[in-house]
Chains A and B, each alone.
Chain A
Amino acid sequence: MTPPPAAVRTATEWLSARARWHPLEIVFWFAAFAAIYLFPARHLILTEIAWLGLFALSLDLILGYAGIISLGHAAFFGFGAYTAALLAKHEIIEEPVLALLISGCAAMTLGFVTSFLVLRGSDLTRLMVTLGVALVLRELANRYGWLTGGADGLQGVSVKPVLGVFRFDMFGHTGYTYCLTVLFILFLVARRLVNSPFGLSLLSVKSNPLRSSAIGISVDARLVAIYTVAAGYAGIAGALLAQTTAFASLEVFSFDRSADLLLVLIIGGAGYLYGGLIGAIIFKFMQDYLSALTPQYWPFWIGLALVVIVLVGRDRITSWTTPIRLMAARLNWRALARRSAERL
């Protein structure tokens, strides 16, 4: 059975309208790349923001678009980080970009295997299973100390120049450009993904799995697919961390990392891709400022932020973006042009 051509046309138009680049998005990425030349002194923290943003983007794909609550997303992050660090240490694959791809694929495989565990059950079961997977990996990394370095972390990693040309330096100049480029490319892929019919079907699964399967969406297959992709993203984020710091420790699997990540995504707002990136910027600068004041008690402020965000309400927290969105709507010259064309 084929749908009527008129419906297909409306749907295609709607999808392409969704996928259209907004001027503010162009400004955002322009500013991000301009920071390479504008703020060379802050490249270290900007590097951290770039991989944290990618990590949050990955959580956004499963939480904001598919509605899976995960407390163990650090499992894939850590898996990617250890893969990249091991590849570099034992000189199996020396070129960072290739190693990055392989780490991503490794994390994707892990994501695919574990995705079948999160299909069943309620939010609580998913929470426990994701948390359990991260804990199991941490225990494994701890136990196989001959491979991973155990509790001391994996030391003695030396990362070769990117593409054989650009050497990593201690100021993070190469690191930032490298991370930002990877983030941008993966962002484009994610953007294409969520604005496709596949992305729409994910949203429908999120709001009502029963009805989605009734209209012919295979819910399980979609969830497996997006979970696998998100795991790959998280793995690449972890690999970026391992390559830019030339180090991997058990801490990459920690519960705190998964919990912090939730905060990052919630600050920026879930479900529109930029939430993770904006959240990462705010989170890192907040951490930079607060942990300079009280390094030991920094978790207190994370906790306070979480409690306040929930009590005030997440939608109200992200409502500070409303004026920007209104302005953005006014700025949207294409929509304006179309409306005036319709009026004529």
Chain B
Amino acid sequence: MLTILFDGIAYGMLLFVLACGLAVTLGLMNFINLAHGAFAMAGGYVTVVLVNRLGVPFLVSLPIAFLASAGVGFIFERTLYVHVYRKSHLDQVLFTIGLVFMSVAAVDYVMGSSQVFVQVPSAWQGKFDAFGVGIGRYRLLIIVICGLLTVALQFILAYTRFGSRLRAAVDDSRVARGLGINVNWIFALTFAFGSGLAGLGGALGAEILGLDPSFPLKFMIYFLIVVTVGGTSSITGPFLASLLLGIGDVAGKYYVPTLGSFVIYTIMIVVLVWRPQGLFSRATSR
């Protein structure tokens, strides 16, 4: 029971790191980015290549995965995404679906279509018992890393100058522009950072979620659930939403495996119809 809760929390934390970049992009530019999973996949594959083929230590490969995805995100944002912000939602959806399809086929071409795993160092494998609860070491590592990241993110958002500018831009980008805040630049940095976090999440999650070329399509719906249910106005909303989703998904698959993801999708529809703004979001003025 508690083990399931523990696994669920690890899964939820992972989802949060994967999806929080998407929450900021959506809230900041009102931009629907369905291709967020592609950056996560990039991070995952970077780790796979580094650890399995080049023999880089696992913990060293994580920051590299972050930087690689952030770099790819930054380049894509500056060259391609900038042209699409002002277009309609339909255009944004078409554009990002196109990117997803291209990334899926390209990874399939380069890395092959089979599922790959990261060789996690043996020190991190296995389980130990703490107060009668079976705890997977690797999942504990995930919780620690993601927990630290969450605290750091919350700190950056709440107490730094960049954070307050970002919040101002999310609340009302026009007024923020009027006050001399370079919203475009903030957005590019946030986009790159969010992509980097997704890449880190992909690298950490390659072991648990499984990594194959269809990763962006498979998890797109999960990221979107986190963002739409959690709302985009704060970071705590998506955090709570991903914890709920993680625990719910793990518990659902354990107790009622025949139902599959059916429960998750139904709950999502109900929540969206009941509160289109998201469960944890305050009413926006726009």
Residues on A close to B: CB < 8 A?
63, 69, 71, 117, 120-125, 127-129, 131-133, 135-136, 139-140, 142-143, 255-256, 259, 262-263, 266, 296-300, 302-307, 309-311, 314
Q: Is the CB of A311 within 8 A of B217?
A: no
Task: Give the B interface residue count (CB, 8 A).
Answer: 43
The CA-CA distance from A142 to B259 in the complex, in Å, is: 10
Residue B53 interfacial (CB < 8 Å): no
5 pairs, A vs B, C-beta closer than 8 Å: A300-B102, A300-B106, A302-B101, A303-B104, A310-B94
The CA-CA distance from A295 to B272 in the complex, in Å, is: 38
Q: Is the CB of B269 within 8 A of A132?
A: yes
Residue B273 interfacial (CB < 8 Å): yes
Shortest distance between the CB of A269 and any CB in chain B (Å): 13
The CA-CA distance from A127 to B228 in the complex, in Å, is: 11
State which residues 95-121 of B face A: CB under 8 Å. Answer: 95, 97-106, 108-109, 113
Q: Which residue of A lies closest to B225 (CB)?
A: A128
Shortest distance between the CB of A119 and any CB in chain B (Å): 9
Q: Is the CB of B265 within 8 A of A132?
A: yes
Shortest distance between the CB of B209 and any CB in chain A (Å): 18
The CA-CA distance from A142 to B105 in the complex, in Å, is: 26
Residue B172 interfacial (CB < 8 Å): no
Shortest distance between the CB of B39 and any CB in chain A (Å): 15
A69: contacting residue among B93, B95, B260, B272, CB under 8 A: B93
Q: Is the CB of B94 within 8 A of A136?
A: no
Given contacts A299-B101, A304-B102, contact A136 B266 (CB under 8 A): yes
Given contacts A124-B228, A128-B228, A310-B91, contact A259 B101 (CB under 8 A): yes
The CA-CA distance from A220 to B116 in the complex, in Å, is: 48
Q: Is the CB of B98 within 8 A of A303?
A: yes
Q: Is the CB of B98 within 8 A of A304?
A: yes
Shortest distance between the CB of A117 and any CB in chain B (Å): 5
Q: Which residue of B lies closest to A135 (CB)?
A: B265
Q: Is the CB of A128 within 8 A of B108?
A: no
Given contacts A262-B94, A300-B102, A311-B95, contact A135 B84 (CB under 8 A): no
The CA-CA distance from A306 to B26 in the complex, in Å, is: 21
Q: Is the CB of B94 within 8 A of A125?
A: no
Q: Is the CB of B104 within 8 A of A299?
A: yes
The CA-CA distance from A307 to B94 in the complex, in Å, is: 7
The CA-CA distance from A19 to B276 in the complex, in Å, is: 38
A127: contacting residue among B32, B98, B105, B261, CB under 8 A: B32
Shortest distance between the CB of A148 and any CB in chain B (Å): 14
Q: Is the CB of A263 within 8 A of B94?
A: yes
Given contacts A123-B32, A128-B224, A136-B262, contact A307 B102 (CB under 8 A): yes
B59-83 near A? 1/0 per residue, CB < 8 Å: 0000000000000000000001001
Question: Chain A contacts of B225 at CB under 8 A?
Answer: 128
B101: contacting residue among A117, A121, A136, A306, CB under 8 A: A306
Question: Chain B contacts of A305 at CB under 8 A?
Answer: 98
Given contacts A63-B90, A310-B87, contact A297 B109 (CB under 8 A): yes
Interface centre among A132, A140, A304, A314 (most CB of B within 10 A): A132
Residue B253 interfacial (CB < 8 Å): no
Q: Which residue of B lies closest to A119 (CB)?
A: B273
Residue B141 interfacial (CB < 8 Å): no
The CA-CA distance from A152 to B258 in the complex, in Å, is: 17
Smallest CB-CB A-B distances: 8 pairs = A306-B98, A303-B101, A300-B105, A121-B276, A303-B102, A123-B89, A307-B98, A310-B95
Shortest distance between the CB of B143 and any CB in chain A (Å): 28
B250-276 near A? 1/0 per residue, CB < 8 Å: 000000001111100110110011001
Residue B145 interfacial (CB < 8 Å): no
Question: Chain B contacts of A131 at CB under 8 A?
Answer: 221, 224
Shortest distance between the CB of B22 and any CB in chain A (Å): 11
Interface centre among B98, B258, B276 (most CB of A within 10 A): B98
The CA-CA distance from A305 to B273 in the complex, in Å, is: 33
